Amino acid sequence: MVRVSSWGRLDSHEHDLVPLSDRDQAVRAVAGGRGLPQGNARSYGDVCLNPDGRLWRMTGLDRFIAFDPASGRLRCEAGVLLRDIQRMSIAHGWLLPVTPGTQMITVGGAIANDVHGKNHHVLGSFGDHVLGLRLARTDGRVIDCGPDREGDWFAATIGGMGLTGVVVEAELQLRRVAGPWLVTDTVPYRNLDEFFQLADTSETGWEQTVSWVDCLSGIGRGLFFRANLAEIPDRIAQSGRKPKRVPFVPPVSLVNGLSLRAFNEAYFRANTLKAGYAVAHFEKYTYPLDNLHDWNRMYGPRGFYQYQSVVPRAAGRAAIEAMLAAIKASGQGSFLAVLKTFGDRAGRGMMSFPRPGVTLALDFPNRGASTAALFERLDAIVRDAGGRIYAAKDARMPRDLFESGYPRLAEFLQYRDPGISSAMSRRLIGS
Amino acid sequence: MQDSPQRIVIVGATSSIAEHCARLWAAKGKVALTLVGRDAGRLERMAADLRVRGAIVTSRTADFSDPRAIRALADAIVAEGVPQQVLIAHGSLPDQQQCQRDLDAAYEALDVNGVSPVLFAEAFAGHMEPAGGVITIIGSVAGDRGRRSNYVYGAAKGLVTRYAQGLQHRLAGSGSALKVVLVKPGPTATPMTAHLPQRGLAPVEQVARLIVDGSAAGKPVVYAPGKWALIMMVIRHLPAVVFNKMNI
């Protein structure tokens, strides 16, 4: 048994860790077994944990199977990191269409959480670019599914939190790019009206939109970041930056009310001064924290939560305002606060998180009861607005909010693998 | 030679360390890799991956314990072109307790970790001596001093250490441009060690990087990571009265 924790480092539990390193062996190992597939364990909460049970660790299944540089179709094992795909494919002029704010996640994890990125309004979520996948079930069955075959299995597995079986391999459609460079633009905004105006006007003309919001300001001031691929024909794979590391877990969270106020003020001012256009390497611009290894340690020994919700656009303005006010009143929150609008499209998966509306994501250092109390206030706002919480980030949402947020839950449960269970599934589904 | 790809042979190719070395070589471009292993299916899956990463790849299965088969395999590979680089990476971590009870297990551990790598190196050395190149053999820090926790494995790796020294001595005397690089990895995070506490295990990517760079530089001995050079120097020189009290 090995102690394993997820990215939030809230706690760690004993797991029977079974590394899978060969895809034929993987199918045999899953057949007749009970457990949970785990990728690179970058989910924040308990979606990737199975305390006192078995974890099939997928990161050893990290081989490419075939890549066609003419069509951009890639077949690979499920444990391949998005980083390794992009560093290989950029040399041929291809990148993944959709990636989240880290590329240190596996293909299987990206599918299981149907992850999204800054370009949701143009390209949807990760599952929209999966051409097919192979699912190994604990009853020994192997299901090859995709948008055009076994479509129900596919829709259940995209965003299915790993609960429909173990994804052992997948075929992805990459997208053509001129090179690794982005043209970026930074625009400060002083309140939520300005944010929504920027979000709406940027949807056409800008492929990537996201914003940092100052969670202590209460008025929703922040920085709006938008970017497009640049037509610069140069294919160097890496940005050349040197990684840094948080070397140890500090005894208390480095993120607290005092440090946060100073940091947010400085960050807002510095970026206001250098607002405007720039050219940046996609690795540096899109995955800034990948360069700070073990950054999750900075929240100290008690770990941290991330709270990410999406609320429908109609209720969005008022709901975001209410959430920001509640966060400001609580004096909690962190520098990592993201506000973004999703495009007018739902995910392919029965349990996909992205939906039309506006999403707010924040880290919170774990301060026990006061953090839990804040989350309850935020839950009430999300519930009233008809929104949902992102499972990939969650460690504590109440079951009723899960059920109301994901109306296709009953349909999804028909495709569950009875041999697969996670801390999250036991908490939110009861088994 | 500049226009033809560099020829690299990897024996024990499906080991995690070897596979990561292969990926680093493939990423450099213009390499022709010959993968030697036991399991044809795994070799083919690995070959497909390395082709996507840009290498030219062939694979061969082999009997790792038959001296004649080892000779025949080396001759057959060389017949297609003398390699510039050979990496000998096979081995398995035996259970020391089992080796003490079961001499078959001890014999197998000595054979696969000691005798077999030496025979592979010897089979290629003669072919490569005239033109030069690099033979890299993966030993272990365990070969530096016998310890109660794994001395059968350590003995096999000690054999590899003495062999590499001797071959280096022979080649230095003959003025050959063939280099022999002995790598001594410390505990490394691979699928084989995933059941152990991960604290203190070196990432396999880091170990592979040190092997590839050390081989390119033709270093006689590469500890991976480098801190093990210091740790093992201390352990080698500890007086028995101190050493025997340590439970390592």
Confidence label for B65 from pLDDT (cuts 50, 70 and 90): very high
List the single residue in A57, A60, A88 with the smallest CB-CB distance to B52. Answer: A88
How many other CB atoms are found less than 10 A from the CB of residue A399? 11
Residue A149 DSSP label: B
Write down the ipTM of this complex: 0.90
Judge whether residue B1 has pLDDT over 70.
no
Specify the pLDDT at position A274.
Answer: 86
CB contact under 8 A, A57 and B48: no
Specify the pLDDT at position A239.
Answer: 73
CB contact under 8 A, B45 and A57: no
Which tens digit of pLDDT belongs to each residue from A160-200? 999 999 999 999 999 999 999 999 999 999 999 999 999 99
Total length of chain B: 248
How many other CB atoms are found less than 10 A from the CB of residue A72? 20
CB contact A66 to B (< 8 Å)? yes
Give the SS3 label for residue A321: helix
**Residue A423 buriedness (CB in 10 A; 0-12 / 13-18 / 19+):** buried
Closest CA relative to residue B65, chosen from B33, B35, B106, B109: B109
CB contact B42 to A (< 8 Å)? yes
Q: Which of A34-38, A132-136, B147-151 has the lowest mean pLDDT?
A: B147-151
List the single residue in A3, A21, A63 with the smallest CB-CB distance to B49. Answer: A63
Specify the pLDDT at position A261.
Answer: 87
Q: Which of A41-45, A232-236, A308-312, A335-339 has the lowest mean pLDDT?
A: A232-236
Given phi > 0 = left and psi -120 to 50 = alpha, else beta, which region is A67? Answer: beta
Structure tokens at B4: 């033809």
Which tens digit of pLDDT belongs to each residue from A56-96? 999 999 999 999 999 999 999 999 999 999 999 999 999 99
CB contact B197 to A (< 8 Å)? yes
Percent of chain A with pLDDT over 70: 100
Judge whether residue B230 has pLDDT over 70.
yes
Residue A146 DSSP label: B
How many other CB atoms are found less than 10 A from the CB of residue B193? 16
Given phi > 0 = left and psi -120 to 50 = alpha, else beta, which region is A280? Answer: beta
Q: How far apart are CA B3 and CA A429, in angstroms?
A: 61
Domain boundaries, chain B: 6-243
Three-class secondary structure assignment of A17-29 = EEECCCHHHHHHH
Q: How far apart are CA A49 and CA A32, in angstroms?
A: 20
Residue A129 DSSP label: G
Is A353 within 8 Å of A310 (Cβ atoms)? yes
Indicate the residue type of B79.
A
Specify the pLDDT at position A183.
Answer: 95
The CA distance from A59 to the nearest CA of chain B, in Å, is: 9
CB contact A249 to B (< 8 Å)? no
Q: How far apart are CA A187 and CA A271, in angstroms?
A: 9
- Give the residue on B whose Cα is nearest the Cα of A21: B191
CB contact B29 to A (< 8 Å)? no
Is A209 within 8 Å of A238 (Cβ atoms)? no
Structure tokens at A399: 């079951």
Structure tokens at A403: 């059920």
CB contact under 8 A, B41 and A64: no
Q: Is domain B6-243 annotated with CATH 3.20.20.70?
A: no
Indicate the residue type of B110.
L
Specify the pLDDT at position B215.
Answer: 97
Specify the pLDDT at position A399.
Answer: 98
Contacts of B52 in chain A (CB under 8 A): 64-67, 74, 88
Domain boundaries, chain A: 62-177, 181-403
Strand partners, A17: A55
Is B20 within 8 Å of B45 (Cβ atoms)? no
CB contact under 8 A, A63 and B41: no
A54 φ, ψ to 5°? Answer: -95, 145
Which tens digit of pLDDT belongs to each residue from B144-175? 999 999 999 999 999 999 999 999 999 999 98
Mean per-residue pLDDT of chain A = 94
**CATH number of the domain at A181-403, out of 3.30.70.260, 3.30.460.10, 3.30.70.2520, 3.40.50.2300?**
3.30.70.2520
Query: What mean pLDDT is predicted for residues B176-184?
Result: 96
The CA distance from A336 to the nearest CA of chain B, in Å, is: 29
Strand partners, A170: A76, A133
Query: What mean pLDDT is predicted for residues B61-68?
Result: 95
Total length of chain A: 431
Give the SS3 label for residue B22: helix
Indicate the residue type of A63.
R
Give the SS3 label for residue A42: coil
Judge whether residue B2 has pLDDT over 70.
no
List the single residue in A23, A60, A88 with the smallest CB-CB distance to B45. Answer: A23
Contacts of B191 in chain A (CB under 8 A): 19, 21, 60
Judge whether residue B110 has pLDDT over 50.
yes
Specify the pLDDT at position A305.
Answer: 96
Structure tokens at B74: 């080396």
Specify the pLDDT at position B3.
Answer: 65
Query: What mean pLDDT is predicted for residues A407-428?
Result: 98
Judge whether residue B28 has pLDDT over 90.
no
Q: Which of A147-161, A284-298, A348-362 has the lowest mean pLDDT?
A: A284-298
**Residue B8 buriedness (CB in 10 A; 0-12 / 13-18 / 19+):** buried
Q: Measuring CA to CA, how many Å separate A213 from each of A120, A334, A409, B119, B158?
A: 19, 10, 32, 64, 60
Contacts of B45 in chain A (CB under 8 A): 22-23, 63, 65
CB contact under 8 A, B49 and A60: no
CB contact under 8 A, A19 and B191: yes
Query: What mean pLDDT is predicted for residues A103-109?
Result: 98
**CATH number of the domain at A62-177, out of 3.30.465.10, 3.30.70.20, 3.30.1330.10, 3.40.50.2300?**
3.30.465.10
Judge whether residue B209 has pLDDT over 90.
yes
Element (H, E) at B11: strand B6-11
Query: What mean pLDDT is predicted for residues B177-193?
Result: 90
